Structure 1
Amino acid sequence: MELDDAPPRPNDALVELVRQDLDRFSVAELEARVVALEGEIARTRRKIEHAVNHRASADALFRR
């Protein structure tokens, strides 16, 4: 397998997103991007909350 064939790492998309030149986007496109990113932030925060709660539940179960 060549290096270019390797599956992308989770942060590769984030790095690419941060590097994008925003000058080429219209105001409407930038606003849509903000909405999409806010949605992704909310989804990520829900995942973190779930993971923390799951871990706390597991810890409580095994401390008995």
Structure 2
Amino acid sequence: MPRTGRPTPPLVLSDEERATLVRWSRRAKSAQVLAMRAKIILACAEGASNTDVATALSVHLSTVGKWR
């Protein structure tokens, strides 16, 4: 079955952006919302599909789509 919808462009992060997102996702004092956003972006940058990221992080598919 062919894929429907618009294609998702690859997400490319610089080393500095990746380091900042990793720091936010692991820091104990980060707001949980910020940490989850960072985890979503990092997972998408690794090439995972929106569905896989949503399942792995237990968030809604539309949340992943918003932050991709």
Q: Scaled by the length of structure 2, what TM-score is found?
A: 0.32
TM-score (structure 1 length as normaliser): 0.34
Structure whose residues are more often helix by fraction: 1
Question: Of the two structures, which has the highest relative contact order with CA contacts closer than 8 Å and spacing of 6 or more?
Answer: 2
